[in-house]
């Protein structure tokens, strides 16, 4: 049974909205947002040093994806800052402390997007999913429709 990143399993009466980098069961994509490595301007990578990272806390799919991408690419890294919030990650990036992983919709104009030319591997899109339990009860369908309608209005 899939989990939403919390300890609560998805069951017959659950309707959940959560961010991930993959799809689960009966989930609908609400928003797809490209993820990227970002740093403050100017940013210089020293080839001999591991990439200093600011990542979300341990129970985050973005953290796992970033670490896996770096390990698959053989890119050394060290986690220098961890936060539960986007604001915390942005603050670590803005001070020049670390490179972070953010969704494109949260970039600041002062941030520099990093990529292969900086020795960093590509990242997948972040996906905000609507996951519904059960087999189509009226209550779950109504809740899902209301949530989808709200996200449709966002753009």
Average pLDDT, the chain: 81
Domain architecture of the chain: domains with CATH: 15-41+71-154 (3.40.190.10)
Confidence (pLDDT) at 53 = 96
- Chain-centroid distance of CA 20 in Å reads 6
Both tokens assigned to 36: 């990227």
Among 88, 132, 103, 110, smallest CA distance to 40 is for: 110
- Chain-centroid distance of CA 86 in Å reads 10
20 bridge partner residues? 127
Range name among 1-10, 58-67, 139-148 with the lowest pLDDT average = 1-10
| CB distance 30 to 148 below 8 Å | yes
Reduced to 3 states, what is the DSSP secondary structure of residue 113? Answer: strand
Residues 83-102: tens digit of each pLDDT: 999 999 999 999 999 999 99
Confidence (pLDDT) at 4 = 42
Both tokens assigned to 9: 């399993």
């Amino acid at each position: 049974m899939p989990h939403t990143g919390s300890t609560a399993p998805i069951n017959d009466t659950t309707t959940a909205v959560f961010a991930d980098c993959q799809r689960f069961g009966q989930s609908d994509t609400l928003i797809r947002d490209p993820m990227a490595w970002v740093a403050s301007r100017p940013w210089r990578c020293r080839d001999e040093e591991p990439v200093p990272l600011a990542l979300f806390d341990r129970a985050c799919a973005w953290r796992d994806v970033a670490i896996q991408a770096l390990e698959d690419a053989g890119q050394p890294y060290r986690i220098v800052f961890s936060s539960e919030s986007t604001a915390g990650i942005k603050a670590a990036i803005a001070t020049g402390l670390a490179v972070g992983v953010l969704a494109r919709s949260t970039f600041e104009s002062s941030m520099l997007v990093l990529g292969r030319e900086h020795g960093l591997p590509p990242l997948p899109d972040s996906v905000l999913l609507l996951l519904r339990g059960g087999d189509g009860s009226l209550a779950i369908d109504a809740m899902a429709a209301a949530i989808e309608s709200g996200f449709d209005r966002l753009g």
